[in-house]
A and B are shown apart, each in its own frame.
Chain A
Amino acid sequence: MNRIELDMDNCEGCRRCVRACFVNVLQWDRTAGKPRVAHPEDCVHCNLCELACPGSHIKVTPDFSSLDWTVL
């Protein structure tokens, strides 16, 4: 599974990462006023959350070994 790390100490809560996530892996935590990684199993490592974060407080580490569809 891909690893998504949020630097919560420095996150400013701009929500850009949540908007950028087209698979709803990142969701908005209303109570905390911060994003949370709700469904990492659906991450497709497009990296758009990383690119959207103005402070570079997100790191996505793809797990390439989990891509294992049958071809033969």
Chain B
Amino acid sequence: MPDLGSLGEVTSADVLVIGGGIAGLSAAITVKERKPALDVLVVEKATAGWAGKAGRGGGILAFLTPDDTPDDFVRYHVHHIGCFLEDQELLLEYARTCNQVLDTLDAWGAKVARDARGNWKYVKTPGTDVPWGLAGVDLDMCQRLRKRAVGMGCRFMNKTALVDLLKDGEAVTGAIGFDVRDGGCRLVLAGVTILATGSQNYRVMPMWSCGRGDGIAAAYRAGACMRNAEFGSFVNMVHAASREVIFGAEDHMFNAAGEDISARYRPGLQPDICAMSAVGWYREHLAGKGPVRVKSDENLLQIGSEVLFSTDLVWDRPAAIAFWSRLWEKAREVEKGEEMPEVIPGFIGEQSPVMVDHRMATTLPGLFAVGDVSYSGAAWTGAVPSPPGRIRGSGLMNAVWSARRGALAAVEYLEDRDRLPEVDHALAADLKKRIYAPASRERGISALQVVREIQAALTPVRYSNWKSEERMREALGLVLEAREKLSSLKAEDPHDLARCNEAESMALCAEMFYRASLLRKESRGWFIREDYPERDDAAWLKWIILREEGGEMTLRTEDVPVERYPFRP
């Protein structure tokens, strides 16, 4: 067999963690805690500890307060969040054990806010009576976790984009990619691989643009199953001028005629934004009643011009306050302090379909997926996109919770293996050829052009959130047109090569989204269709499973085993 070293620089590890955000770091630390002798390598496209969404997200942990019970949480979730599409067995396990995440983060050095008595300092989502509370953790948590991981002996490889998975037969035995600075090919051979690469955000919203779907695409190309791909159309309402999120805007929206459209499309206070906020916004514009504005003085998530969670009135979080203050200070220069600012939907996507079982094992041996990459694919979350899904603060919780489960299962997998990992050399050579193709062309089109075309098929509300057969076919057509152009991409340098591979991941994820969405002929949770406006429990208590077979994207359905669950429609 030819030497793998002929393809690039080869590194080995017992455990390969792809992604250096909160989930990846949590998985790496957990493996070391369980079995310190294992060699753990974290590979990150940017810099581990600074990468991922957690360092820029809300820093909020949704947990069960002493007044909340797991049964209440599951009941509420099933009826109001995931709409019976949950794996209720896993959801109940989550509800029973998720509070351990706060102790874990605290033990690892992250700063989870406490009250004067030393208990977790929490608030309830203002105006609601949901069976959970929100605790706060400071935004430097990943840097603290990285320090912990370094201290435990984890190794790190930064500035390296791993974009495809290596295999030995059906088993995943590592990954291949390149250094984004010098373009050198990197191969990592591993006994077990943990994917922690985040969700797909299609790089539309600037601050949330870290998830570009590389891990989803890599798993798909390697033959892994995807589940709940149709729920990846998350939107938040953003300021029309700065395009920064106005938290809580969805509850205080008024059309140009001064009518309360939040009351029309989103009755009652809800725990977080829902798809109908964007749909309502769109329908008002269609009726000639735009623009839509927000009454800031009624917004329960804001105090004056300050966002509740970014002040020290709730939690003392120095890093978070510095971050948010700087962001909004600049945004306000263009927002001009309007009393009723105009809002528009900001598409964030949050597609997270890598299918995993209760141990966070994907359908491929040797591959586990944790954090946002498998949030919807794990299915405990039901009919929602990844965080916030419909529960603000569930993202960090799920990231650490799933990482710990996945890491422990990965160690078990490794213990059962009786031989060193091998790699199909021919496959590795083919993957390298695919990955580097844009760098080998003398001329071609830019990745950013194709990305813009994919975005244009997703960001219009009429395509991705107010869905119909006709409009989704139109949008899918745009995605497939963009996909055709992938074979003409030209990378100018290694950084651009990463963008080309990201464009490919985005095209793939967008195709998954529309193909799965076209199949689901109903409305449920985050998923809204104009032509099938009702929830159809008789026909659609089903998960849509998607995978590549013979070069084609195939779809099938699997019944949600609701008969064995405590809550049924």
The answer to whether A24 touches B455 (Cβ under 8 A) is no
Residue B462, interface by CB 8 Å = yes
Which residue of B has the minimal Cβ distance to A2?
B206
Q: Which of A27, A39, A42, A71 contacts B459 (CB 8 A)?
A: A71
Task: List the A side residues contacting B562 at CB < 8 Å.
Answer: none
Which residue of A has the minimal Cβ distance to B319?
A51
Residue B427, interface by CB 8 Å = no
B417-464: which residues lie under 8 A (CB-CB) from chain A? 448, 455-456, 459-462
Residue B382, interface by CB 8 Å = no
Q: With A and B bound together, what is the CA distance between A1 and B347 in angstroms?
A: 20
Q: With A and B bound together, what is the CA distance between A64 and B462 in angstroms?
A: 24
Q: With A and B bound together, what is the CA distance between A21 and B55 in angstroms?
A: 11
Task: List the B side residues contacting A51 at CB < 8 Å.
Answer: 322-323, 326
Q: With A and B bound together, what is the CA distance between A48 and B461 in angstroms?
A: 31
B265-307: which residues lie under 8 A (CB-CB) from chain A? 282, 285
The answer to whether A24 touches B180 (Cβ under 8 A) is yes
A55 to chain B, nearest CB (A): 16
Task: List the A side residues contacting B334 at CB < 8 Å.
Answer: 64
Residue B564, interface by CB 8 Å = no
Interface of chain A, helix or strand or loop or mixed?
Answer: loop
Instruction: Give the 6 A-B residue pairs with the shortest CB-CB distance, closest first.
Output: A44-B206, A69-B459, A67-B243, A22-B46, A47-B326, A19-B47
The answer to whether B50 touches A20 (Cβ under 8 A) is yes
Task: List the B side residues contacting A14 at CB < 8 Å.
Answer: none
Task: List the B side residues contacting A70 at CB < 8 Å.
Answer: 456, 459-460
Q: Which residue of B52, B206, B499 has the most chain A CB atoms within 10 A of its CB atom?
A: B206
Q: Which of B50, B181, B204 contacts A19 (CB 8 A)?
A: B50
Q: Which of A44, A48, A50, A62 contacts B50 (CB 8 A)?
A: A48
Residue B130, interface by CB 8 Å = no
Residue B327, interface by CB 8 Å = yes
The answer to whether A23 touches B209 (Cβ under 8 A) is yes
The answer to whether B52 touches A22 (Cβ under 8 A) is yes
A16 to chain B, nearest CB (A): 10
A32-70: which residues lie under 8 A (CB-CB) from chain B? 38-39, 41-42, 44-48, 50-51, 60-62, 64, 67, 69-70
Which residue of B has the minimal Cβ distance to A47?
B326
Residue B111, interface by CB 8 Å = no
The answer to whether B47 touches A38 (Cβ under 8 A) is no
Task: List the A side residues contacting B322 at CB < 8 Å.
Answer: 51
Q: Which of A23, A48, A71 contacts B344 (CB 8 A)?
A: A71
Q: With A and B bound together, what is the CA distance between A62 and B45 in angstroms?
A: 24
Size band of the B side of the interface?
35 or more
Q: A48-B55, A51-B323 are in contact. Are A71 and B460 (CB under 8 A)?
A: yes
Q: A24-B159, A64-B334 are in contact. Are A69 and B46 (CB under 8 A)?
A: no
What per-residue 1/0 map shows which CB atoms of B51-80 lie under 8 Å from chain A? 110011000000000000000000000000
Q: A47-B327, A64-B241 are in contact. Are A69 and B47 (CB under 8 A)?
A: no
A33 to chain B, nearest CB (A): 16
Task: List the A side residues contacting B46 at CB < 8 Å.
Answer: 21-24
The answer to whether B204 touches A69 (Cβ under 8 A) is yes
Q: With A and B bound together, what is the CA distance between A62 and B462 in angstroms?
A: 29
B336-350: which residues lie under 8 A (CB-CB) from chain A? 344-347
Q: With A and B bound together, what is the CA distance between A51 and B241 in angstroms?
A: 24
Q: A22-B51, A47-B326 are in contact. Are A69 and B180 (CB under 8 A)?
A: no
B377 to chain A, nearest CB (A): 24
B562 to chain A, nearest CB (A): 36
Residue B134, interface by CB 8 Å = no
Q: A19-B50, A62-B330 are in contact. Are A44 and B207 (CB under 8 A)?
A: yes
Q: With A and B bound together, what is the CA distance between A67 and B180 in angstroms?
A: 26
Q: Which residue of B47, B282, B347, B455 has the most chain A CB atoms within 10 A of its CB atom?
A: B47
Which residue of A has the minimal Cβ distance to B139?
A48
10 examples of A-B residue contacts, CB within 8 angstroms? A19-B47, A19-B49, A22-B210, A24-B495, A48-B323, A51-B326, A64-B241, A69-B459, A71-B460, A71-B461
Q: Which residue of A18, A51, A69 has the most chain B CB atoms within 10 A of its CB atom?
A: A69
Q: Which of A39, A62, A67 contacts B495 (CB 8 A)?
A: A39
B242 to chain A, nearest CB (A): 5
Which residue of B has the minimal Cβ distance to A39?
B495
Q: Which of A24, A47, A71 contacts B323 (CB 8 A)?
A: A47
The answer to whether B181 touches A27 (Cβ under 8 A) is yes
The answer to whether A46 touches B241 (Cβ under 8 A) is no
What per-residue 1/0 map shows which CB atoms of B136-156 lie under 8 Å from chain A? 000000000000000000000
Q: With A and B bound together, what is the CA distance between A71 and B456 in angstroms?
A: 9
Q: Which of A38, A46, A50, A69 contacts B455 (CB 8 A)?
A: A69
Q: With A and B bound together, what is the CA distance between A71 and B401 in angstroms?
A: 35
Q: With A and B bound together, what is the CA distance between A67 and B241 in angstroms?
A: 9
The answer to whether B285 touches A45 (Cβ under 8 A) is no
A37 to chain B, nearest CB (A): 12
Q: A22-B210, A64-B242 are in contact. Are A38 and B495 (CB under 8 A)?
A: yes
Further 6 A-B residue pairs, CB within 8 A, beyond A19-B47, A47-B330, A71-B282: A20-B50, A21-B46, A48-B50, A48-B56, A64-B334, A70-B459
